[in-house]
Amino acid sequence: MKYPNELPAVLTYGGGTNSSAILVELIKRGYEPPALIIFADTGAEMPHTYAHIKIMSEYATKHGYPAIRIVRSHQKSKRGGIYEMSMRVKKLPAAAYNQKTCSKQFKIEPVEMSCAQHFGHGVSFCNIVGYDFDEIARAEAGSKKQTLENAKNWYPLIEWEMGRDECVQSLIDAGLPLAGKSSCFICPNMRPHEIKKLAIEHPDLMQKAMDLESVADNT
């Protein structure tokens, strides 16, 4: 099956439940393999996310799809990832200051670079986005501000009327483990219970987060 407008497709894989369900459903529904499946690595993802990416990459190649390509920003100022950059500049991630540059710097820009390298500059492609049927408002807002250069966004989960529960069930039916929440371990938007869980399950990462807080200039 072809993608909308018969464009080459890129699955911007987020490492969570929705993007994993999309991958499963594309295979199950007979879509041709996308040109790229890309995960933009901030360098500070949770261990369960890295583990799940490996599982899903193996699932993709088993079914004739490309392996998940893990990409990072190549800009010198961002070398090493968001944690290393934050330690160098002695600042918490941008969300702590009510800014929204984290996604652009560490998610959007690396994906744009990879797409430009693969397709060439100025070539349109179908960008498969993981908003589900419970997030129609987010998709509508996102459609008004194009995030990736030359991309035509497609929201298959909305088209297929799959909400969060249906995404979870899709993974279960495929015999795959659930993804867990995709998030940086230094994300300022973490909730108290998530911070407590981090401290219990990954005390080394909790210590790194505390080290960053201790050196950050919060003025």
Q: What is the pLDDT of residues 193-216, one digit of tens each?
A: 999 999 999 999 999 999 999 998
Direct distance between the N- and C-terminal alpha carbons of the chain, in angstroms, rounded to an integer: 53
Q: What is the mean pLDDT of residues 7-32?
A: 96
Which burial class, exposed, middle or buried, applies to 218 when counting CB atoms under 10 A from its CB (0-12, 13-18, 19+)? exposed
Query: Which residue matches tokens 């060439």?
Result: 120
In this model, does residue 171 exceed pLDDT 70? yes
Task: Name which residue leads in pLDDT, 129 or 137.
Answer: 129
The model's pLDDT over 55-73, given as tens digits with 9 standing for 90+, comes to 999 999 999 999 999 999 8
pLDDT-based confidence at 101, cuts 50/70/90?
confident
User: Dihedral of CA 103/106/216/214: which sign?
Assistant: positive
187-196 burial: b if 16+ Cβ within 10 Å, else e: beebeeeeee
**145 pLDDT exceeds 70?**
no
pLDDT at residue 76 is higher than 90: no
The residue count for the chain: 219
